[in-house]
């Protein structure tokens, strides 16, 4: 189930979509500065980094959800596939304009001497490829954008 929340930080509003993946994990997608950041959080044991506060979950009023679906300067129409961990790009398997299916491999990422297949989490058309073979990437870095 996907739920939308409106989060206000330093006077700026951000739309956050939360999708429950199972009993132990949630997928959080934040649309911030025209980027989608995907983080995996263990729901049984969530610790706030030093200097951050916990956020209490409150469903957004329906009128807020409707308003947030309107075009915004910080919500991108593209969908980003991001690095789930830091590592080195071994191979880029897609190019701009190429159609991809849900689950299709788009990038092979080496991390801790293991090859990790990074797959599209939805169907679409590749808008841009942000990395090339041999690039070092950080967790959350955009690898491929889909339209």
Q: What's the pLDDT band for 58 if we cut at 50, 70, 90? A: low
Rounded CA separation 72/47 (Å):
31
Rounded CA separation 2/76 (Å):
18
Query: Is 128 within 8 Å of 96 (Cβ atoms)?
Result: yes
Can you list the domains of the chain with their CATH numbers? 2-68 (no CATH), 79-146 (2.40.50.100)
pLDDT reported for residue 68: 45
Q: What's the pLDDT band for 93 if we cut at 50, 70, 90? A: very high
Residue 61 pLDDT > 90: no
């Amino acid at each position: 189930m996907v739920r939308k929340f409106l989060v206000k930080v330093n006077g700026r509003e951000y739309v956050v979509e939360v999708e429950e993946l199972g009993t132990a994990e949630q997928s959080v997608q934040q649309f911030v500065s025209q980027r989608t950041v995907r983080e995996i959080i263990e729901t049984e044991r969530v610790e706030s980094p030093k200097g951050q506060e916990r956020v209490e979950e409150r469903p957004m009023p329906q009128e807020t959800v409707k308003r947030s679906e309107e075009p915004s300067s910080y919500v991108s129409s593209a969908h980003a596939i991001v690095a789930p961990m830091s590592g080195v790009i071994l191979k880029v398997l897609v190019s701009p304009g190429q159609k991809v299916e849900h689950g299709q491999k788009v990038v092979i990422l080496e991390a801790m001497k293991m090859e990790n297949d990074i797959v599209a989490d939805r169907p679409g058309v590749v808008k841009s490829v942000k990395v090339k073979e041999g690039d070092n990437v950080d967790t959350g870095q955009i690898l491929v954008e889909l339209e």
